[in-house]
Every structure is written in structure tokens, then in C-alpha cells.
Structure 1
Amino acid sequence: MATMTLEEAATRRQVTGERFRADGLDGFSIFETDFTECSFVDCMFDGGKVGMSKFRNCHFTDCSFRDTTLLSCQFNEGGDDEYCVWKACDFSDAFLSECDLSKNRFIKCRGFMLLLKDCNLSETEVDLEVHRSTNARHIIGGISCYRTRFLEANFTGQDLEGSTFEFCDVRGANFNKCNLTSVKFVGSNLNGASIRNASLVCTNLAHSEIEELDLTQADALSDLMISAEQRDYVLKCFRVTVLNP
């Protein structure tokens, strides 16, 4: 029996147990299609659009989503066995809006200049290379996240230099051993996040909630940017007392 193509899948409402290999969107879009227990290997979604679709217990391997737009897609409907796994996939310059990727696993993926807005990545395992190396030159990229949830997400050991987390919920997230140099957490909630042995150099915490963030866990902390209302808490963390003249 012939293997279903992505183009054929895009015409259906339900697709179950299919294996897509070395296929691509080729100018068409996928909207309102539900994929269950499907695998995608070496597939090209570059420059395409996927919207209002659901992916339950799907696996993506060596797939490219460069400059792809994902709108209102669900990659986990809340079940413990419905999350998706992404291995060696490329999300460089991709745009994700209102997508649910909670509990997903990203393994050795790339995300140079990835943009996330109003997404949910709670309890997600994040292994994402957000910079680019060409001809022995290292280019700082980072990811940009706005109003996105990262509750208890695991970023352990990630190099997130230059990234942005504005008005994001990162409570309980694990940033242990991360490079958070020049990362912007403006307006975000970092309470309960772990930054053990992380590097916070030129990190911007202005107007963020840090009342339960232990800054003393950081391995490197200098040129930290905070707002006036955070000053007393930061001084308290390092047992610094300001005496009145």
C-alpha cells in the first residue's frame, strides 16, 4: 500500500499511525488536521504554515521548520502519553503563536532566532542550539519569547545568551548551568526558578518577579540590571545592609 504524503494528509481531518519520510509541504499549508501516533523523518516544512492542528504522541526526526509559521497548534492535549518528541530538528527563524508544547522533548535541536508568542512549554525538556557557527565564526542568535509559559521547564546547561523572555511565566524552571548572559527577563515571573551555577552577566531582570529567586546560586553575576523596586530584595540576597546617613 502506498505511503500517504503530507499533501494528502493536509486534505484529511484525522491521520493516525502514518510514517512520513523525506516529504515536504512544497507550497501548501496544513490546517485543522489531527495527527495521532505519526512519525516525521527528514521532512521539510520550511517557509510553510501549519495552523489549528493537533499532534498526539508524534515523533519528529531530522525535520526542518526553518521560517515556518505554526499557529494555534496543539502538540499535547494534556495526557501523559500525548506529548511529542523532536530530535535534531531545525526551528531557525520559525514563528510559533498560541501553540501548546507542554511536556514535549526537544533533543539536539536548533532554534536560531526562534520566536514564540503566547505559547505553553510547561514541563518541557529543552535541548536547543540557539546560536550559529559558520566558517569558524560564532554568531549569537538567541530565542525571543513573549507571554509564554515555561512552568518547570528544563533548560539545564543551555547557552541562551542574548535571548529574550518578556512577560513570561518561568516559575520553577531549571536554568542550572545555563549561560544567561545578556538575557532579558523583563516583566517575567522567575519565582522558584533554579539558577545554580548559571552565568548572569548583563542579565536584565527589571520589573520581573524575583521574590523567590535565589540569586546567590549563580556562578557568575555581574552588571545585573534591575528596577528600583527590586533593589531591597537583591541587597537582602547578598546580606547587604544600607545604613541611613
Structure 2
Amino acid sequence: MMAERKHGVPAPPTDSTVHAADWDSRDLSGEQHRRVAFVDVDLTEAVSRGAEFVECTFRNCRFNASTHEETGFINCTFTRTSFFDTTFTRCKFVGSMFDGSTHDLMKVVGGDWSFVGMPGADLRNASFTDVRMREADLTGARFAGAKVRGVDLSGAWLSKADFTRCDLRGSDLSSLDPLGSEVAGAIIDPFQAVTVATNLGLSVTDEG
């Protein structure tokens, strides 16, 4: 059963299909695709800069070892897609949904991933640095041992997420309920400690 988008919003329909294409090492820079279904497409070691995919669907695709800079994947859907060792730098994924995909060694640096849906995603070997992930659906996502540094998680859905041993320094934890998520061994900074304590209903003061 596919994970649902937030509030039950359906995935956008597609108007055309690219099936079983070999886009290995393809340079996608500047390309624009709208409402295209990519099925069984191999994008291994592909590169892109300034490309744009809007309301596209990717099913059983492979982004392995590909690199993308300032590329937009807006309101897209990724189903059973592999992102092994994929790097996204200053990319935009606003409103995109991930379901049954793999993210081993995926690296995300900068960019806007607000409103993405990654419920239950295994992100234990992924890293996110200086990324905007406002109101992202990360319900039940697994970040154990991952790197989530300087990430804006304001308004994110973090219920039942696993942040065990996760490096969260510099991230916005205002939406984190320590009692509703796994946080044992997570690494945070002093400012975040105050936020977490406040979320627990504690009063923090340095007065004698």
C-alpha cells in the first residue's frame, strides 16, 4: 500500500511516459519535464544543473551516483526508486513524495525540501545539511545515526521518527516532541537543549 500525501492529496496525473530508457551518465542540465511518468529509467551517474521536473512520477528508477545542482523536482512522486550515493546541491523538492525508495549514502546540501513526504523512509545512511524541510512529513522516518545539520524542521511531522544517535546540531527542533520520537544518544547543541526542554514543558532559567 502506497504512503499517502499529507491530508490525502492525490498525486498529480501524468500526460506522457518514458519507459525503460537508458539515461546512464546523461547530462540533464537545463532540461524541462512536466507531468511525465518515468518508469524503469536508469539515471545512474546522470548530472543536472538548472533542470526542472514538475509534477512528474518516477517508478522503479535509479538515480545511483548521480549529481544534481540547482535542479527542481517540484511536486513529484518517487516510488521504489534508488538514490544510492546521490548528491543534491541547492535543489528544490517542494511538495514531492517518496514511497518505498532507498536513500543509502544520499547527500543533500542546501535547497528547499519543504512539504516533502517521506513517511517511514530509511534515512539512516543519508545526510542533510542546511536544508529547508518546513512542514515535511517525516512520520516514522528512520534517522538513526544520520547527519541532519542546520536543517529547518519547523512545522515538520516528526511523530514516531527515530533520531537515535543522529547529529541534529543547528537544526530547528521546535516541532520535536521528545516523548513521541526516539532521541536516545542524539547530538544537539546547548540552544537546542533549551528548545527540547521547553517542548517537555520544563522551565529553563539561569537565575539562582
**TM-score (normalised: structure 1):** 0.68
Partner of 1:42: 60
Partner of 1:3: 18
Matches within 5 A, 1:135-174: 141-174=144-177
SS of aligned partner of 2:151: coil
Partner of 2:119: 107
Shift of 1:2: 7.2
Shift of 1:88: 1.2
Q: Which amino acid is the alignment partner of residue 158 of structure 1? A: A
Partner of 1:21: 39
1:154–1:175 Cα contact (<8 Å) kept: no
Shift of 1:176: 4.6
Partner of 1:233: 204
Alpha-carbon RMSD across the aligned residues, in angstroms, is 2.7
Partner of 2:132: 120
Task: Confirm whether residue 129 of structure 1 aligns to residue 142 of structure 2.
Answer: yes
Separation (CA, whole Å) in 1 of partners of 2:76 and 2:57: 6
Q: Which amino acid is the alignment partner of residue 38 of structure 2? A: F
Task: Mark the CA change 1:3 to 1:160 in structure 2 (over 3 Å): closer, same or farther.
Answer: same
Q: Deviations over 1:223-242 (max 9, x none)?
A: xxxxxxxxx82799xxxxx8
Q: Which amino acid is the alignment partner of residue 163 of structure 1? A: C
Q: Deviations over 1:122-164 (max 9, x none)?
A: 111114234xxxxxxxxxx422111110001111012221111
Larger radius of gyration: 1
Partner of 2:4: none
Separation (CA, whole Å) in 2 of partners of 1:235 and 1:34: 50
Partner of 1:87: 99
Partner of 2:13: none
Partner of 1:212: 198
Shift of 1:56: 1.6
Which of 72, 94, 97 is residue 54 of structure 1 equivalent to?
A: 72
| Matched residues, number | 189
Out of 93-102 and 179-188, give the one that drifted further.
179-188
Segments of structure 2 that go 5 or more residues without pairing to the other structure are: 1-15
SS of aligned partner of 2:119: strand
Separation (CA, whole Å) in 1 of partners of 2:17 and 2:81: 21
Task: Mark the CA change 1:234 to 1:2 in structure 2 (over 3 Å): closer, same or farther.
Answer: closer
Separation (CA, whole Å) in 2 of partners of 1:112 and 1:17: 31
Asked which structure has the greater RCO (Cα within 8 Å, sep 6+), the reply is: 2
Segments of structure 1 that go 5 or more residues without pairing to the other structure are: 77-82, 131-140, 190-204, 217-231, 237-241
Identity of aligned residues (%): 15
Q: Deviations over 1:82-107 (max 9, x none)?
A: x1111111112211001211111113
Q: Which amino acid is the alignment partner of residue 3 of structure 1? A: V
Q: Which amino acid is the alignment partner of residue 73 of structure 1? A: C
**TM-score (normalised: structure 2):** 0.79
SS of aligned partner of 2:128: strand
Separation (CA, whole Å) in 2 of partners of 1:145 and 1:2: 35
